[in-house]
Amino acid sequence: MKRSFIREILEHTTSDTISFAGGLPDEKLFPHLALRESATHVLGDAKSLQYGTTQGYLPLRNKITHLYTTEGFRTTADNIMITSGVQQALDIISRYHHQEAITTESPSYLGAMNLFDLNQLEQHPVTLHRDGIDIAAFETSFSQTKLAYLIPDFQNPTGYTYTQEKRAQIARIVKEQQGILIEDAPYSELYFKEKNQSISALLPEQSFHLGSFSKALAPSLRLGWIRADKTLLEPLLAYKEAMDLHSNGLSQAIVDHYLTDLHQYRSHTALLRKMYSKKMQVFKTYLDELLPTLEYTIPQGGMFIYGRLPGISTSALVKHALKQGVVFVPGREFYYKQERDDELRLNFTNCSAKEVYRGLSILARIYKQACHTNKKAA
């Protein structure tokens, strides 16, 4: 399990560390008062503290169903299972598919790669380009694995987004090969311009579409879900039941109450998009000023800017950065075989503008020193 770097960060960060490392939302934007109101309302009824059903609280499943149907993705409450975040959805699915082969993006989400390893899935990484996965390589790989894990919207770690054309190509391949797609979509609401159509909408019977309230509301709720065809979902219920009987009932009831006013939810996610888009612009302005050699793609949403510093080992750089009170995640951590060491992931949602400027100035200084040392050694 590739946890050592994350552990190292946790051991070395203090409250003064400027962290571009985590995928943390901005706490100032949590809908804390509205959730408090919902919590107070829900706790007015002692029933909210009772055991619930494994598939999840039906009123909440109905509301999630409504979110799909208003986007034209035909869904019923039978297609939804509530999970403890997308992380548990991935755990359940990878336990069910244990020891199978799976096509993944390279680089990919560390938390998924770890689960695939734990459940002995044989990972087949395929290069991820700025506009989505390499289609020819995906087709070859998928013809063998028949199972794929993709993050098409504002991917973690790269922030890349699939074009509509690539989405359609993936759907065609999965259909032709009669396989299954796991589409991880925790960032989908965080688009800056327009919402993308999910690949799963083109493949309703051959996909697991994974959603989460972690980024759109708050991660401590630990609420996510799987949207899948009933025949795909049913076998997973036994795994879910064995793991925790059901997800946190109080959280489910609170979010259900909060979503009763859909307008409130929609204005909240609109605010997040506006504020994160601004934060990304600020981050980009400072990046261009302070670290102009960083090669990166401007994200269309999400939480990350991913880039490359040619000729530099970012895993060495981060050790110096940590000592100076700044941290990021070196790209190497997101590669299955850790084959690249000149990339880095920067989170733009959590720090204030002041912290971003200070953190990037420190990084720029350390980077210049590293370039100088490299030149001398050459």
Ligand X SMILES: Cc1ncc(COP(=O)(O)O)c(C=O)c1O
The DSSP element (H or E) to which 286 belongs, if any, is helix 262-290
Pattern of binders to ligand X over 16-35, x per CB under 6 A? -------x------------
Which residues does residue 150 pair with via DSSP β-bridges, in sequence order?
A: 183
Which of 158, 214, 252, 314 touches ligand X by CB under 6 A? 214
The answer to whether residues 150 and 173 touch, using CB atoms and an 8 Å cutoff, is no
Distance separating alpha carbons of residues 80 and 70, to the nearest angstrom? 15
Query: Residue from 65, 207, 212, 252 that binds ligand X (CB under 6 A)?
Result: 212
- Return the residue of 107, 159, 179, 224 that touches ligand X, per CB under 6 A: 224
Minimum distance from CB of 56 to ligand X (Å)?
14
Site string for ligand X, 43-62 (x = CB under 6 A): --------------------
Q: How many angstroms separate the CA atoms of 107 and 87, rounded?
A: 18
Q: Do the beta carbons of residue 209 and residue 226 sit within 8 Å?
A: yes
Judged by DSSP in three states, 40 sits in helix
Residue 133 CB, nearest approach to ligand X (Å): 14
Pick 184 or 189: Cβ nearer ligand X: 184
Distance CA 99, CA 208 (A): 18
d(CA 63, CA 36): 20
Contact flags string 96-125 toward ligand X, x per CB under 6 A: -------------x-x--------------
**Binders of ligand X in range 154-193 (CB under 6 A):** 156, 184, 186
Cα–Cα distance for residue pair 158/300, rounded to 1 Å: 11
How many residues bind to ligand X according to rule CB under 6 A? 14
Q: Note the residues at the interface with ligand X (CB under 6 A).
A: 23, 85-87, 109, 111, 151, 156, 184, 186, 212, 214, 219, 224
